[in-house]
């Protein structure tokens, strides 16, 4: 009876968020709880469990899961050391196993480890030896490294952006692991780094240019000699040496077709690099458009996207609207624990004066606000997107003239309306809404809007990649540099 160890380590970070993340920024499951937690969930592990369940001859061993509660800044060296030790202890203490499945992200970096997933895979390989079959799944925002392909035998990666195929990506990894254990396949993997960072609407797989190459990778995956494929676009905010985009293809036996297709994909992607960027509007100009408009406006502040690893405490757009004397109604979220606490202390109905913004990231200047506390909540919520539990800590809604702030103590994802709705604020009831996310399902904000304005505001996850201040990423790298690439270099990884 083959016995499979199942573990997870998933988080993505922005190196430009000054707040270092700790162990408490992760949710942890151990042993049987790994299986119990994921069985009903549409996660990668949930998908793998779903496939393994079709094989009654398989036994599953829950290992260890560490999932970032929301994206954060760089993980502290002590926090990652603890997580890595617990993750690897689960391998050492697993007893006799015949295979491993890991659900990973690919854009996790700690203060002293720039390729955390590669590190976990390498250390796992040292423990279990060269022969143990290992499957791993990744997010397409992962920064693919040689180490991430040297140690696993089979790899799968998301095919959708925004991501909707968590479950299917885990299913695909589990199916490949089963075929490997059954002796059906001889995997060979290739990666082709493309030194270009991309961002914005063209990265939406269903509608953007990027989707074309993902489709080609899917077609390869489904072809007779193909096993897996995808296009890692990396996370421009994770400032690590290997930061780049990567074609990834995995073939059965012979890598010739993968190299031919991958080379073509890499060249086309490079040629289209300037088109796969996010056009941004100057902050002052965007606010003028918003104030002059008649209909509803979505003010996209992707530079402070908590789901990409920003701190969430930007006030930049509202500060500019205040400066321009805006009288239209505005709904805005802000992670500001002291302001939320002040709301709690004062109580519902009280008028208070606080500063909002800049409590975490010094690039934002605190804005003095006098307003009335309208709503208080404990910050527990269930996401309207996926139904998972989020926790924003004590939260206050402060109304100041036309501006309504939802002030949270901790960051949660802001790609849907959950933090607004759970605090009694429907974006549909405001003239403008600040949305701190690069991509949202249109029905949440954009469908009813007269204008969706992508604004060049300051922040740790700005699509204005040039202005972020990369120090570690290997250069040259587009768009920081241009016209330097000499063409694709294929790297081949074959374990047996």
Interface positions with Zn ion (CB under 5 A):
139, 141
Please list the residues that pair with 156 across neighbouring strands.
137
CB atoms closer than 10 angstroms to residue 429: 12
Residue 181 burial (CB count, 10 A): 18
Q: Please answer whether residues 371 and 352 qualify as being in contact, where contact means their C-beta atoms are separated by less than 8 angstroms.
A: yes
Shortest distance, CB of residue 207 to Zn ion, whole angstroms? Answer: 17
Shortest distance, CB of residue 276 to Zn ion, whole angstroms? 16
Q: How far is the CB of 230 from Zn ion (least distance, A)?
A: 12
Closer Cβ to Zn ion, 164 or 223, answer by number: 164
- CA dihedral angle for residue 62, residue 164, residue 381, residue 49, rounded to 10 degrees: -20
* Cα 336 to Cα 229: distance, rounded to the nearest angstrom: 41
Min. distance of Cβ 31 from Zn ion in angstroms?
28
The residue among 61 and 109 lying less far from Zn ion, judged by its C-beta, is 109
For 441, other C-beta atoms within 10 Å of its C-beta total 15
- Output 117 or 139, the one with its CB closest to Zn ion: 139
Please give the Cα distance from 69 to 79 (Å, whole number).
14
CA–centroid distance for 356 within its chain: 26
Residue nearest to Zn ion (CB): 141
Run of H or E including 80: helix 77-92
Nearest approach, Cβ of residue 136 and Zn ion (Å) = 15
Q: How far is the CB of 47 from Zn ion (least distance, A)?
A: 16
Whichever of 88 and 233 has its CB closer to Zn ion, that residue is 233
Q: How far is the CB of 474 from Zn ion (least distance, A)?
A: 22
**Nearest-angstrom CA–CA distance, 365 and 26:** 29
- Give yes or no for a contact between 286 and 318, defined as CB atoms under 8 angstroms apart: no
- Choose between 46 and 142: whose C-beta lies nearer to Zn ion: 142
Please report how close the Cβ of residue 208 comes to Zn ion at its closest, in angstroms: 15
**Residue 97: partners with Cβ closer than 8 Å, 6 or more residues away:** 3, 4, 5, 61, 128, 132
Q: Which is nearer to Zn ion, 290 or 439 (CB)?
A: 439
Least CB distance to Zn ion at residue 122 (A): 23
Cβ of 185: how many Cβ atoms within 10 Å? Answer: 18
| Residue 279 backbone dihedrals phi, psi, to 5 degrees | -65, 135
Signed CA dihedral, 264, 267, 270, 276: sign only: negative
The smaller minimum CB distance to Zn ion, of residues 165 and 313, is found at 165
- CA 454 to CA 465: how far, in whole Å? 14
Rounded-to-integer distance, Cα 418 and Cα 345, Å: 24
| Closer by beta carbon to Zn ion, 141 or else 172 | 141
Nearer residue to Zn ion within complex by CB, 139 or 301 = 139
């Amino acid at each position: 009876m083959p016995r499979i160890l199942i573990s997870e380590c998933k988080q993505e970070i922005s190196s430009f968020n000054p707040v270092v993340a700790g162990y408490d920024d992760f949710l942890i499951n151990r042993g049987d709880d790994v299986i119990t937690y994921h069985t009903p969930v549409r996660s990668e592990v949930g998908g793998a469990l779903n496939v393994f369940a079709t094989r009654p001859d398989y036994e599953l061993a829950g290992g260890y899961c560490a999932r970032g509660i929301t994206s954060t800044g760089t993980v502290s060296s002590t926090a990652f050391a603890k997580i890595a030790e617990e993750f690897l202890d689960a391998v050492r203490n697993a007893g006799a196993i015949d295979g491993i499945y890991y659900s990973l992200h690919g854009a996790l970096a700690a203060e002293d480890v720039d390729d955390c997933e590669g590190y976990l895979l390498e250390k796992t390989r040292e423990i279990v030896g060269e022969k143990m079959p290992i499957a791993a799944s990744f997010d397409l925002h992962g920064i693919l490294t040689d180490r991430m392909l040297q140690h696993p035998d089979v790899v799968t990666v998301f095919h959708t952006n925004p991501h909707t195929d968590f479950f299917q990506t885990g299913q695909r990894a589990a199916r490949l692991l089963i075929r490997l254990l059954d002796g059906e396949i001889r995997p060979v993997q290739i990666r082709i780094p493309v030194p270009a960072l991309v961002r914005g609407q063209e990265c939406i797989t269903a509608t953007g240019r990027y989707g074309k190459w993902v489709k080609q990778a899917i077609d390869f995956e489904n072809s007779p000699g193909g096993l897996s494929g995808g296009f890692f676009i990396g996370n421009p905010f994770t400032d690590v040496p290997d930061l780049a985009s990567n074609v990834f293809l995995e073939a059965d036996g012979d890598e010739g077709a993968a190299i031919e297709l991958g080379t073509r994909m890499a060249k086309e992607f490079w040629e289209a690099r300037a088109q796969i960027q996010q056009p941004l509007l100057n902050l002052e100009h965007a606010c003028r458009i918003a104030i002059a408009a008649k209909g509803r406006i979505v003010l996209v502040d992707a530079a402070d996207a908590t789901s990409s690893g920003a701190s969430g405490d930007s006030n930049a757009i509202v500060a500019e609207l205040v400066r321009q004397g805006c009288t239209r109604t505005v709904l805005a979220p802000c992670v500001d624990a002291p302001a939320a606490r002040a709301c709690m202390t004062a109580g519902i109905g009280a008028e208070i004066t606080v500063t909002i913004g800049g409590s975490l990231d010094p690039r934002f200047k605190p804005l003095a606000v006098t307003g009335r506390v309208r709503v208080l909540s404990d910050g527990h919520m269930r996401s309207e997107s996926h139904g998972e539990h989020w926790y924003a800590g004590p939260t206050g809604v402060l109304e100041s003239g036309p501006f309504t702030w939802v002030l949270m103590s901790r960051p949660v994802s802001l790609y849907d309306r959950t933090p607004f709705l759970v605090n009694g604020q429907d974006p549909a009831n405001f003239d403008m809404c600040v949305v701190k996310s690069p991509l949202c399902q249109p029905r949440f904000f954009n469908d009813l809007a007269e204008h969706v304005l992508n604004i060049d505001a300051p922040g740790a996850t700005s699509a204005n990649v040039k202005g972020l201040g990369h120090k570690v990423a290997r250069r040259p790298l587009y768009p920081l540099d241009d016209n330097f690439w000499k063409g694709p270099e294929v790297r081949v990884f074959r374990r047996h």
